[in-house]
C-alpha cells in the first residue's frame, strides 16, 4: 500500500509530503490525520527547527477527495469527521516556521492552507484555485478572513466567487506566493532556505512568528469555526449534491432549478 503521507527529518528540517500522485494528491480524512500528527510531532521535538510541506513532483494537491464529499452529502445525518479540524488546529498552532513548496495543482484546500504558511515558494507550473462556489460550497479554513486581508476584498471576491485558476506569477503578484522558482530546482532551493532558517536561533524564530501572527490568531480561529459551520451546512445541501453528481458524471452542474 502506498504511504500517502511521508515524513522525514534531517538537519533540523521536518518535511511533510503528500504522496498520492495517482489521485493528484487529493486529501482524504486519513491523510488529514497523518499530517496533523506530523505537525504535532514537529512542534514538540526540539531538534525540529523548520517544517516544509510539499506534494509529489508536479502536484501539490487537487484538494479534498471528492469521494469523501459525496459520502457526506449522501448521508447528512452522519457525524462530521474531525480529521480536517485537527489538521487546521495543528497548522495554526505550529510554533516553528512553516514553508510550502508548490508544484502543479494547488486547488481548494491546496490554496487555502498556504494562507497559514510563513513562506510559500511555487514552481512555474503551479496553478491555484478556490472553486468552492462552483461546488455549491463556501470558503474554509478561515480563508474568508485571511485572504481579503492579504489581497484585498475585491480580489478575494474575484478568486472566491469565480473560482478560476491563476498562475504562479499571478499568485506571487497577489502576495499568496513569496517567489516563483523553476520547477526543476524548486525543492533544492526550498530545502536550502529551510536549512538556512534551521541554523538560526530557534527562540528568535518562534518569537518572531508568534509576534507576526499573534495579533490576529483569535480572529483566525473564530473564522475557521465560522467557515467550518457554513461549509458543513452547505456540504449536505442539494446544491452541493448536484455539483458532486455532476463532477462524477463529468458534466456541468445545473443550478438553475434552485
pTM for this prediction: 0.94
Q: 46 in a domain, yes or no?
A: yes
Supply the pLDDT for residue 214: 86
Question: CA 149, 152, 158, 163 torsion: positive or negative?
Answer: negative
| Of 124, 158, 140, the residue nearest 231 (C-alpha) | 140
As a whole number, the mean pLDDT across the chain is 94
Q: 121 in a domain, yes or no?
A: yes
* Exposed e or buried b per residue across 117-131, where buried means at least 16 C-beta atoms within 10 angstroms of its C-beta: bbbbbbbebbbbbbb
Task: Count CA within 13 A, CB hemisphere, residue 165.
Answer: 11
CATH of the domain at 73: 3.90.226.10
Q: 210 in a domain, yes or no?
A: no
Distance CA 257, CA 203 (A): 57
Express each pLDDT in 124-133 by its tens digit: 999 999 999 9
Distance CA 25, CA 110 (A): 10
Phi-psi region at 224: left, alpha or beta (left = phi > 0; alpha = psi -120 to 50): alpha
Distance CA 9, CA 174 (A): 32
Distance CA 171, CA 112 (A): 12
Express each pLDDT in 35-77 by its tens digit: 999 999 999 999 999 999 999 999 999 999 988 777 766 665 5
Q: Looking at the predicted structure, is the pLDDT value of residue 17 above 90? A: yes
Q: How far is CA 90 from CA 44, 84, 96, 98, in A?
A: 11, 10, 11, 12
Number of domains in the chain: 1
Distance CA 118, CA 97 (A): 6
Q: 13 in a domain, yes or no?
A: yes
Whether the CB-CB separation of 42 and 48 falls below 8 Å is answered with yes
Q: 72 in a domain, yes or no?
A: yes
Counting residues of the chain whose pLDDT is more than 70, the rounded percentage is 95
Whether the CB-CB separation of 62 and 105 falls below 8 Å is answered with yes
Express each pLDDT in 145-189 by its tens digit: 999 999 999 999 999 999 999 999 999 999 999 999 999 999 999
Supply the pLDDT for residue 80: 52
Q: Looking at the predicted structure, is the pLDDT value of residue 205 above 80? A: yes
DSSP 207: H
Q: How many other CB atoms are found less than 10 A from the CB of residue 73?
A: 21
Q: 128 in a domain, yes or no?
A: yes
Q: Which domain holds residue 113?
A: 5-184
Express each pLDDT in 143-157 by its tens digit: 999 999 999 999 999
Q: 166 in a domain, yes or no?
A: yes
Whether the CB-CB separation of 51 and 202 falls below 8 Å is answered with no
Q: 189 in a domain, yes or no?
A: no
Amino acid at each position: 500500500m502506498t504511504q500517502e503521507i511521508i515524513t522525514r527529518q534531517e538537519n533540523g528540517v521536518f518535511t511533510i509530503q503528500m504522496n498520492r500522485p495517482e489521485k493528484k494528491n487529493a486529501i482524504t480524512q486519513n491523510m488529514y490525520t497523518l499530517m496533523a500528527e506530523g505537525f504535532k510531532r514537529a512542534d514538540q521535538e526540539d531538534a525540529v527547527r523548520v517544517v516544509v510541506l510539499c506534494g509529489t513532483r508536479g502536484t501539490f494537491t487537487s484538494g479534498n477527495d471528492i469521494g469523501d464529499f459525496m459520502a457526506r452529502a449522501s448521508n447528512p445525518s452522519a457525524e462530521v469527521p474531525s480529521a480536517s479540524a485537527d489538521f487546521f488546529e495543528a497548522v495554526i498552532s505550529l510554533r516553528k516556521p512553516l514553508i510550502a513548496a508548490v508544484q502543479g495543482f494547488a486547488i481548494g484546500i491546496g490554496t487555502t492552507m498556504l494562507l497559514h504558511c510563513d513562506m510559500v515558494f511555487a514552481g512555474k507550473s503551479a496553478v491555484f484555485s478556490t472553486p468552492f462556489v462552483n461546488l455549491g460550497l463556501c470558503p474554509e479554513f478561515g480563508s474568508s478572513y485571511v485572504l481579503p486581508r492579504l489581497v484585498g476584498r475585491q480580489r478575494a471576491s474575484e478568486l472566491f466567487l469565480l473560482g478560476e485558476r491563476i498562475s504562479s506569477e499571478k499568485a506571487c503578484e497577489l502576495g499568496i506566493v513569496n517567489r516563483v522558482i523553476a520547477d526543476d530546482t524548486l525543492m533544492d532551493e526550498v530545502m536550502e532556505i529551510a536549512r538556512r532558517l534551521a541554523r538560526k536561533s530557534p527562540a528568535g524564530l518562534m518569537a518572531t512568528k508568534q509576534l507576526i501572527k499573534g495579533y490576529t490568531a483569535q480572529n483566525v480561529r473564530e473564522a475557521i469555526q465560522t467557515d467550518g459551520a457554513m461549509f458543513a451546512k452547505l456540504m449536505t445541501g442539494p446544491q452541493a449534491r448536484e455539483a458532486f453528481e455532476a463532477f462524477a458524471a463529468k458534466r456541468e452542474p445545473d443550478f438553475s432549478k434552485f
